[in-house]
Structure 1
Amino acid sequence: MITIVCESALEILSDDAALSRLGDPCQASNLEWSTFSWSDIRELGRYIAFDERHPIHVLVDRPVDRVHSDRVVSHVWSGPIPPGSLYHLAPGVLIASPGFCYLMASGSQSKPRAISIGMECVGLYGRRRDARGFSDRNQLMTKEELAEYLEGAKGCYGCRNAIRFLPYVMERSRSPMETVMVLALTLPAREGGFGLPRPELNVTIKPRPDEFALSQRSQYEVDACWERQRLVLEYNSYSDHLSRESLDRDAMKGNSLRSLGWKVLVVTRAQLEGDALTVLAYQVARGLGVKRPHPKAEERDRLLDELF
């Protein structure tokens, strides 16, 4: 039995079509995971997009069965596997649920990295090893559903961390860079972040009828929004915002939102590095009317290294 876990599972689940092929959740008791060979793994190509240039992460029964090579990285799970952790993907192949991926990350990875994986699970993107780096997809689960899964996982390895990290997980991020942006701004200073209030992500702003003359469109979706303070943060990637159409659309959107009384800050990749991030954090704090302790430069940079 081959069981795909961790980033390999999340990469498969980055494709909405893969979600439609999942079978029912399976009972994990009395299953064996160490009985497979490389030829068995290569057979996965019949069912999923499998890139042999990158290792695939799988579950094994015992530490002695572990393999760590350029083809396979194996993981051991101690104790019972919580309900809703594994799904049938293909004959003889199981895949970890998003909740199980987050639980495993919470037990083995740093707090910022585990939180970013949680945000991918409840977000609108999945990481991919391609030029863009991610794909757009539907939400795998809501934050409420993730919390319910963790209730059934109490006592399992990593669960205490997973529950402790959960308040920092925000729903509906649309890209890895949006996740980096909001976590760098909102994680506590002891983690290297700036401790700012958490925004809502990818929400819709609609002008009132008396404001229609000020707006180019009937509604706008914004990347990050603090509604009470009427502050919007927009992340503009270099690849998606350089065409004439994109520049026109971004200009119209920004002008309309400002005319409607919103403060709009635009963020690019370069503003999420070093001292530029500190300046951005001060700009956001001023827009929110708050003061927060800022991290030391080395702590800030360490956080960014973990998130990128």
Structure 2
Amino acid sequence: MKRLYATDKTALELIRSGAMPRDYASVAFAPADMLDAASTARDIKQLVERSDAIARLTTPYMVLVPEHAHRRNSKLITCRALSASITEPYLVSIDEDCLCVTPELLFILYSQKHSLATSVQLGLELCGTYTLPAFSDNECFTTYDLPVLTTAKSIREFIARNPGIYGAKRAKRFARILRDGSASPMETVLFLLLCLPVSEGGYGLPLPEFNADLPVIQYLGSMHVPQIRYGDLVYRSARVVLEYQSSEHHTGSERQESDEDRRDDIEATGYTVMFITPSRIKDFDRFEAVVQRLARYLGVDFSRCEPGRNTSRLALRKLLLPESWTE
């Protein structure tokens, strides 16, 4: 009986749709061989009839096969073979007909074909507490407050243990930028805009923590609500917090009051809080003014960030931000 070994786009769809258990480590395994790997359109059609998880996926299906000689690419299926053997678990069972590469291996394979910005964007999602929609580009269908799927440390350690996989060297360089705990796509975007190298369109600022617990917990004592995480992007050594406000219109709203309470709580412990709204991000000059202020707090010479509308910076904004924000 043939089985589908999902990789690349197909693996990402399984992760984002929730088909992969987020405690995957307990069920992951590495088969001695993949001689039962589906590698033809006929194989796939039979599997689609049996597996609801596979039937939901978009074509072409991206699958692993044992060797390059087994590849039979068509409009329905694209096959790829790993360039090196992996002795540790790297597959997760979805159902009896389908397996999926682990997030750690997916990051390596994804990095082979994608840019630094796009690869780190995916890595931050894999290490975060949200997931983008599997079959839509509409961010409204993002799922939040999920258990952690993997960590930056796990990805880096997997790469270190498997240097023979094609693309591992590139993935290792990309993985240095990964951090745990991003709670939303826009937190990830802000991180990338601020911290990617200047040559990649970012401002090259130091890497912050995501959603870090701050001394406000001790300050508030019994008044602290354990579910609240303080600080979207936190520069602990500089005592600066960057908070993203998702709505442009807060007047009289419960969200505005919540944001103000959070700011007061944080500033009471000696941190500086900087709020950033969609309107500030949309406006290039206003956003760069925020970056300049942040750089000053961090003790970074802003001229080294090469401010201004250069080609790489505009390209990065076009890649990461909604089209309506970059017109």
Q: TM-score w.r.t. structure 1 length?
A: 0.84
Q: 1:134 to 1:220 in 2, by over 3 A?
A: closer
Find the counterpart in structure 1 of residue 105 from structure 2.
100
SS of corresponding position for 1:113: helix
| d(CA) in 2 for partners of 1:242, 1:56 | 47
1:29 corresponds, among 33, 38, 49, to 33
2:316 corresponds, among 296, 303, 308, to 303
Report the Cα offset of residue 121 of structure 1: 1.7
Contact 1:87–1:96 (CA<8 Å) still a contact in 2? yes
Q: Mean alpha-carbon deviation: is it higher for 271-280 or for 167-176?
A: 271-280
Find the counterpart in structure 1 of residue 142 from structure 2.
134
Q: Identity, % of aligned pairs?
A: 24
| d(CA) in 2 for partners of 1:259, 1:20 | 37
Report the Cα offset of residue 249 of structure 1: 0.8
Report the Cα offset of residue 20 of structure 1: 5.9
Contact 1:16–1:138 (CA<8 Å) still a contact in 2? no
| d(CA) in 1 for partners of 2:318, 2:94 | 33
Report the Cα offset of residue 200 of structure 1: 0.8
Q: 1:272 to 1:16 in 2, by over 3 A?
A: same
Q: Mean alpha-carbon deviation: is it higher for 19-28 or for 133-142?
A: 19-28
| d(CA) in 1 for partners of 2:259, 2:39 | 52
Report the Cα offset of residue 206 of structure 1: 3.0
Q: TM-score w.r.t. structure 2 length?
A: 0.80
2:268 corresponds, among 259, 275, 287, to 259
Q: Give the partner amino acid of 2:63.
A: L
Aligned residue pairs total 301
Find the counterpart in structure 2 of residue 109 from structure 1.
114
Q: CA RMSD of the aligned region, Å?
A: 3.1
Alpha-carbon deviations, 1:276-304, whole Å to 9, x = none?
A: 33222112112223214234522111122
Structure 1 residues without counterparts, runs of 5 or longer: none
Alignment of 1:60-209 (within 5 A): 60-61=64-65, 62=68, 65-68=72-75, 72=76, 74-82=78-86, 83-128=88-133, 129=136, 132-136=140-144, 137-207=146-216
Q: Give the partner amino acid of 2:239.
A: R
Q: Could you say which structure has the higher strand fraction?
A: 1
Q: Give the partner amino acid of 1:9.
A: A
Report the Cα offset of residue 108 of structure 1: 0.8
Report the Cα offset of residue 222 of structure 1: 1.4
Contact 1:216–1:256 (CA<8 Å) still a contact in 2? no
